[in-house]
Amino acid sequence: MSEKKRRGIATWFREMKSELKKVVWPSLTQVYKNTVIVLVVCAVFAVITGLMDLVLKLGVSFLHKI
């Protein structure tokens, strides 16, 4: 590996470390609240999707009987 490439990689890691120090990480409470919100939204969409599937299935069954 060339010297220039090695310096480039070392610089990249130094800059990455510097940027990660600037990150504001969420608190445990924020992570918990956001996780609950995501799970609730997923559950709501799952119910909506299930109901739509049931209605469409019944509709197609009705059309096949005609």
pLDDT digits (tens, 9 = 90+) for 19-34: 999 999 999 999 999 9
Which pLDDT tens digit goes with each residue over 5-64?
A: 667 888 999 999 999 999 999 999 999 999 999 999 999 999 999 999 999 999 999 999
The most distant pair of C-alpha atoms in the chain lies apart, rounded to whole Å, by: 78
In terms of pTM, does the model score above 0.95? no
What is the average pLDDT score of the chain?
Answer: 92
2 pLDDT exceeds 90?
no
The half-sphere exposure of 5 on its side-chain side, counting CA atoms within 13 A, is 2
User: Side chain identity at 40, as an amino acid letter?
Assistant: V
Q: CB within 8 A of 34, min separation 6: which ones?
A: 26
Pair of tokens at residue 12 = 């990249």
